[in-house]
């Protein structure tokens, strides 16, 4: 894997986001539409984690997100960021702070 400079790393805006709404995307097998509070704005993130997380258990979670990812479309819905997660052969685990943090707090 290529190494990146610290300057390149600092271009990635990683923040804490609080899930305020979540629903399964109609006609999809695995997509969730997640509305995240990132402090100064709300963002919509589309993520293929329905197999591991149900909408009702997502609301209220503080998660780590990439805040400045270029928008992408999934099933016609715009995704304005990315949830960070760990995946192995058995499951997916979303990254979250180990303490309560304000939405929008920057990861350094």
pLDDT at 68: 97
Question: Which of these, 63, 61, 67, lies nearest to 40 by C-alpha position?
Answer: 67
pLDDT at 105: 97
In 1-108, at which residue ranges do the beta strands (DSSP E only) sit? 14-24, 32-37, 42-47, 62-66, 72-74, 77-79, 82-83, 85-87, 92-94
pLDDT at 76: 95
For each of the chain's 108 residues, which pLDDT tens digit applies?
A: 899 999 999 999 999 999 999 999 999 999 999 999 999 999 999 999 999 999 999 999 999 999 999 999 999 999 999 999 999 999 999 999 999 999 999 998
pLDDT at 38: 98
pLDDT at 72: 97
Instruction: Report the alpha-carbon distance of residue 8 to residue 83 in Å, rounded.
Output: 20
User: How many beta carbons lie within 10 A of that of residue 10, not counting itself?
Assistant: 9
47 touches 32 (CB < 8 A): yes
pLDDT at 87: 96
Cα 49 → chain centroid = 10
pLDDT at 49: 97
Domains and their CATH numbers in the chain: 6-94 (2.40.50.140)
């Amino acid at each position: 894997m290529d190494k990146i400079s610290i300057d390149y790393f600092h271009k990635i805006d990683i923040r804490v986001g609080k899930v305020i709404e979540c629903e399964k995307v109609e006609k999809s097998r695995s997509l969730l539409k997640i509305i995240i509070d990132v402090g100064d704005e709300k963002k919509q993130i589309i993520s293929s984690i329905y197999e591991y997380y149900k909408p009702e258990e997502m609301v209220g979670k503080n998660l780590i997100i990439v805040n400045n990812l270029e928008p992408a479309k999934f099933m016609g819905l715009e995704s304005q960021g990315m949830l960070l997660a760990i995946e192995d052969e058995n499951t997916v685990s979303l990254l979250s702070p180990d303490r309560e943090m304000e939405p929008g707090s920057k990861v350094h």
